[in-house]
Structure 1
Amino acid sequence: MSYSLVNSESFGNNNWCLNLQPAYQHSLLASLSNGQVHQLDWQTGKSIAHIKTGEVAVNKLKLINNDHENESTYATATMGAVKIWDIRSNNCLATISNDKNAPFLSLDSRHNMLACGTELSGSDAELHIYDVRKWDSPLRSLVDSHHDDITDIAFHPSDPNVLMSGSTDGYTNIYDLRQAEEEDALHQVINFASIHSCGWLAPRRIFTLSHMETFSIHELNDKSDEAKEPRPVEFNDVRESWGCDYVVDIHPGYVACGNSQEGIGKLRILPFQGEQVDTNNAIDINAAHGDEVVRDVFVPARNSKLLYSCGEDGSVKTWENKSGPLNVTDEFWDYSQLLNVLDEQPVVVEEPKETKHSKKKHSKSKKSNKQRFKPY
């Protein structure tokens, strides 16, 4: 299985392309370090419209409600504010700031809510949650739970009362939004490492990916007072076992990795099912973005023969797999039936067979050693 290049849309070597976000009924959205967001045609990969959000990089780009059937708005997080945009008119519908004027680094949106995470300001970083039908003030704020930059946020796809946040303070927090007090709302704390990304693999399964390229899968605690932290599945440093210099991110059905040492410039796609990463069927795209770091990869579930990648070379590239589609879906699991995960007993999940991993830490290239959530 291999990919051939369909189109390379360049926005200049001085502009890093940072995020890709699908608006299936309209276009693929791509954010840049110069503050622009471009709409790309799904088939050709060419830019068909763009906006200027400001003069600084777009740290995060997110479709409001992540609802592929009613796509109309998206949010951008920058050093100055979170802005809400209309996809069709390109008009700014609302601007969100915080009392500390702290830069926003992370976003997620589901269940008619938008969560915004900030950089560290003072002794804490803040997490603000908005009702997407009312932008004038937060629905609630969580201001004491992280003590460094909040780098990722993930609503539970089926339970609107569950929210996750990860930070460079080393913690991934899971909140029960039914609890009025922040201390009570902090349902579970996972002490892992500086978080690059975190999210859900199953209704009760949590993944954490660190800036040191360590990876782990944890179980959501039950709500009893006697609850003990379940033993996580530890993958440790995955660079040797996954054949890469850095992990771009974890996606439904695949892991995207990069290799930029010594001008190799390889993009690697590893099939990912359940808790198993299939290194025997890796797909390599050589010289995908030269020797620059790949920032994001997206395979659309509705046409998984295509793959889109973007990177620090300032380009978005469209690739086509002639051999057939990857096995990807919109989500990691079917959540058509609403599941209140905090009220359910934990499901006993069979642990994957133990895999030997080298404890040797590989040195990363100078480019891939950047803090990927802060591109400036």
Structure 2
Amino acid sequence: MSYSLVNTTSFGSDNWCLNLAPVYQHSLLTGLSNGQVHQLDWQTGKSISNIKTGEVAVNRLRIINNDYESGSTYATATMGAVKIWDVRSNSCLATISNDKNAPFLSLDSGHNMLACGTELSGSDAELHIYDIRKWDSPLKSLIDSHHDDITDISFHPSDPNVLMSGSTDGYANIYDLRQVEEEDALHQVINFASIHSCGWLAPRRIFTLSHMETFAIHELNDKSDEAKEPRPVEFNDIRGSWGCDYVVDIRPGYVACGNSQEGTGKLRILPLQGEQVDTNNVTDINAAHEDEVVRDVLVPAHNSKILYSCGEDGNVKTWENITGPLNVPKGFWDYSQLLNVLDEQPVVETKSTETKHSKKKHNKSKKSNKQRFKPY
């Protein structure tokens, strides 16, 4: 693979570009550290319109219902609230807060639901789940399962009853949303390390990435045998083996990594097939965002030859793979159609290592004079 730069959209070095989200019938969205969300034209990268979500950074940006083909609404999480927006009118449809007024750090949407995770307030962080047709009160609240910031949330690709959340308390929790009581809803607990991100590589395959850049792939427990805990495939600290300083994103088909050391800033793409990261076929985009941190990467479903990236240099960049499309699974954005290849094989057991459980937070930013927000 080899990428060439197609265009650059700059918002100024004082406005970090933190998030990317595709609304295929409308635009590409990017969330900024100044609280703005811009709609960008797919072809030119030019800003079509923008809205001010608040005075602080957009911590998370998600398309409602993961409806990438026809969806026209999205959610933003900031220090103050989660807001629901209409792409066509740039109007706010609803505002969500919580009784503790705790900042929202994480979002995900799917199966006609929106899940919102908060920063630690008091002894617990809270996870609130809303029916997207009724914003006035949560459908379900999970308030005792995490004891530190909830940093990531992920609905199951095809099962509307399964939801996962990760936290800096060291746990990734999987919930059975059919259960009324929170204790009964906690289906599986993965004790890993301070969770930077977690998600699904296949319907029964879970990945966890820690703030210390340790990585593992786990198996979703069989509901008929909850006492059995499958062993994960553990990659430990991947910075040396993957040749990077930090991981930007993990998706079925590829891993995006960054290197922000002065004079060597680059974006690295590594193929991810099944449970194997192919370190022999990496693609480096040198000085992708100069020496600044790359915050997000997007390979659009309608054209996998194109890669979008955004970073702390205030730029959104469009890259074209001149050697052909990136090999991502069919139905990459349609989670209900993710390939089930991994489900046909058990997770390869590896020698178990001592479980890491640390609350240390890793700040990938080199700057300290920004407004207070928690991007990770």
Q: In the alignment, which residue of structure 1 is the partner of 2:144?
A: 144
CA, structure 1 residues 241+207, in 2 after alignment: closer, same or farther (shift >3 Å)?
Answer: same
The residue type paired with residue 231 of structure 2 is R
The residue type paired with residue 315 of structure 2 is S
Aligned counterpart in structure 1 of residue 348 of structure 2, from 333, 348, 351:
351
SS in 2 for 1:281: coil
Q: Is the 8 A contact 2:221 2:229 kept in 1?
A: yes
CA, structure 1 residues 352+316, in 2 after alignment: closer, same or farther (shift >3 Å)?
Answer: farther
Once the two structures are superposed, residues 274-296 of structure 1 have per-residue CA deviations (whole angstroms, 9 ceiling, x without a partner) of 11111111010000001110000
Q: Is the 8 A contact 1:107 1:115 kept in 2?
A: yes
Q: Is the 8 A contact 2:10 2:315 kept in 1?
A: yes
Q: In the alignment, which residue of structure 1 is the partner of 2:191?
A: 191
The residue type paired with residue 142 of structure 1 is L
How many equivalent pairs are there? Answer: 360
SS in 1 for 2:100: coil
SS in 2 for 1:184: helix
Cα offset, 1:72, TM superposition: 1.3
CA, structure 1 residues 2+138, in 2 after alignment: closer, same or farther (shift >3 Å)?
Answer: same
CA, structure 1 residues 256+226, in 2 after alignment: closer, same or farther (shift >3 Å)?
Answer: closer
CA, structure 1 residues 229+131, in 2 after alignment: closer, same or farther (shift >3 Å)?
Answer: same
CA distance in 2, matches of 1:317, 1:226: 45
Q: In the alignment, which residue of structure 2 is the partner of 1:335?
A: 336
Structure 2: 5+ residue runs without aligned partners?
352-361
SS in 1 for 2:135: coil
Q: Is the 8 A contact 1:62 1:74 kept in 2?
A: yes
Cα offset, 1:183, TM superposition: 0.3
Cα offset, 1:227, TM superposition: 2.1
Cα offset, 1:367, TM superposition: 3.6
CA distance in 2, matches of 1:353, 1:57: 41
Q: In the alignment, which residue of structure 1 is the partner of 2:134?
A: 134
Q: In the alignment, which residue of structure 1 is the partner of 2:296?
A: 296
CA, structure 1 residues 369+283, in 2 after alignment: closer, same or farther (shift >3 Å)?
Answer: farther
CA distance in 1, matches of 2:310, 2:347: 36
The residue type paired with residue 91 of structure 1 is S
Once the two structures are superposed, residues 52-88 of structure 1 have per-residue CA deviations (whole angstroms, 9 ceiling, x without a partner) of 1010000000000001233110000000000000010
SS in 2 for 1:22: strand
CA distance in 1, matches of 2:244, 2:83: 35
Q: In the alignment, which residue of structure 1 is the partner of 2:182?
A: 182
Once the two structures are superposed, residues 111-147 of structure 1 have per-residue CA deviations (whole angstroms, 9 ceiling, x without a partner) of 0000000000000000000000000000010000000
The residue type paired with residue 219 of structure 2 is E
Of 279-288 and 324-333, deviating more is 324-333
CA distance in 2, matches of 1:35, 1:278: 37
Cα offset, 1:353, TM superposition: 9.0
SS in 2 for 1:196: strand
Instruction: Determine if the alignment matches structure 1 residue 108 to structure 2 residue 105.
Output: no
CA distance in 2, matches of 1:208, 1:366: 18
CA distance in 2, matches of 1:349, 1:366: 34
SS in 1 for 2:302: helix
Cα offset, 1:106, TM superposition: 0.3
Which 4+ runs in 1 deviate beyond 6 A?
A: none
SS in 2 for 1:303: coil
Q: In the alignment, which residue of structure 1 is the partner of 2:231?
A: 231
Q: Is the 8 A contact 2:264 2:291 kept in 1?
A: yes
Q: Is the 8 A contact 1:260 1:365 kept in 2?
A: no
The two structures have a TM-score, normalised by structure 1, of: 0.91
